Amino acid sequence: MKSFEKRWLVVAGALIIQVCLGAIYSWSVYVNPLKEVFSYTTTQTQIIFSLALATFALTMIFAGKLQDKRGPRTVATLGGVVLGAGYLFASFTGGNFPLLALAVGVIGGAGIGLSYVCPIAACVKWFPDKRGMVTGLAVAGFGAGAWIFAKIAANLIDAYGVLTSFKYLGAIFMLSVVVGAQLLSNPPAGWKPVGWNPPEPNFKVSSAEDFEWKDMVKLRQFWMLWIMFVFGAAAGLLVIGILKPYGVHSGLSAAAAANAVGVLALFNGAGRIIWGAVSDKIGRKNTMTLMFLLQGMMMFALITMGSTKMTLAIAAAWIGFNFGGNLALFPSTTADFFGTKNVGINYGLMFTAYGVAGIAGPILAGSVFDMTGSYMWAFIPSGVACLVAAGISLGLKSPRHA
């Protein structure tokens, strides 16, 4: 197969995998059923979500290092098996909170972490000429998966109940991710697209030196990006975890609130592609600054936008679009700054920021609501954090070895 065709086959495999992994972003459809059927608190529902995100991020460190050595296909296949097994186990927990947290949060999260980095690492190697765009495309399936599986999960819950829905999802995840993994590969050493030559180093599209992870974590640029990632992702994950119950609490019907979950998921996927492509044109730094400013503004506005179907949909689209940009810009910027040779382990370490955000955002929302009956004091600090991230991005400069 010609290299041109093969690299687009890798993108196809990436999309299949990411659609399944993105189901975790549809978690808010489980919040009210778990509260109604098993008497969970809002905080408990968000602990499961946070555990999945944190385990996802921590597992990526190991997965990134392993895929750098073994290649993306083997590691992504393992991830599909683990993810499916976690959800299958969840169907046998009887609603027991610690067991469900272990099944979906820890085992399921580990499966996502094993699979997630593999298509990203493969795509940035196959597309040095369109790194921002292809990273966005590769992870767009994650956002689209939330929309698809929000509908699938809601229908399964209505038809068969909460626990049986996990069984069906586990089977779908295991089969689909394993199939998608077989399409992944790395290009030959030294490969580049016909007619393309690396540009002169600059922030927009950098031909970065290859940093080992031990050297990378000593650089201030790594920690600046890491903090920005925490702040930006926390705002988005906070909203993703409680969007449906927030709409219902604000007076909307369950169907109208669920519609907002679908809107957020679609714009989450679109944001990954569009922000990634924009960053190839105007630079990662300018793109990040704009994205964080827009997200911060909406977190403040969201306080009053939950009471009508239209305003909640607008807020969901805005937040999803900007949140999605994080998942395109940070892997491409990691490759820009620290090279592609070790991008698996390097982005795995960068992605620990997402794990911290996955704990801070959803649990902040759940605990604030349980204490005050409102989400306002979760939205306000998240908005401030996004504005701080925009300020940090203004000081970014590409690193070089001494």
As a CATH number, domain 3-187+203-393 is 1.20.1250.20
Residues 6 or more apart in contact with residue 69 via CB below 8 angstroms: none
Quote the CA–CA distance of 150 and 224 in Å, as a whole number: 34
Q: Which of 185, 181, 172 is nearest to 145 (CA)?
A: 172
Residue 175 is predicted with a pLDDT of 98
Residue 28 is predicted with a pLDDT of 86
Q: H-type helices in 93-130, by residue range?
A: 97-100, 109-126
Q: Which of 221, 213, 375 is nearest to 305 (CA)?
A: 375
Residue 349 token pair: 């370490």
Residue 368 is predicted with a pLDDT of 93
> Nearest 5 degrees, angle CA 59-CA 65-CA 68?
130
Q: Which of 205, 217, 186, 367 is nearest to 276 (CA)?
A: 205
Residue 213: how many other CB atoms lie within 10 Å: 21
Quote the CA–CA distance of 36 and 343 in Å, as a whole number: 44
Domain ranges of the chain: 3-187+203-393
Residue 200 is predicted with a pLDDT of 58
Q: Which of 263, 276, 241, 234 is nearest to 381 (CA)?
A: 234
pLDDT 10s digit of each residue in the chain, 402 long?
A: 555 678 889 999 999 999 999 999 889 889 999 999 999 998 999 999 999 999 998 998 888 889 888 999 999 999 999 999 999 999 999 999 999 999 999 999 999 999 998 998 898 888 888 777 787 787 788 878 888 998 899 999 999 999 999 999 999 999 999 999 999 999 888 788 877 776 655 444 444 578 999 999 999 999 999 999 999 999 999 999 899 899 999 999 988 888 898 899 889 888 988 998 899 899 999 999 999 999 999 999 999 999 899 999 999 999 999 999 998 899 889 988 998 888 888 988 999 999 899 999 999 999 999 999 999 999 999 999 999 999 999 999 888 654
- Evaluate the CA torsion angle 217, 218, 221, 223 in order and state its sign: positive
Phi, psi at 186, each rounded to 5°: -100, 150
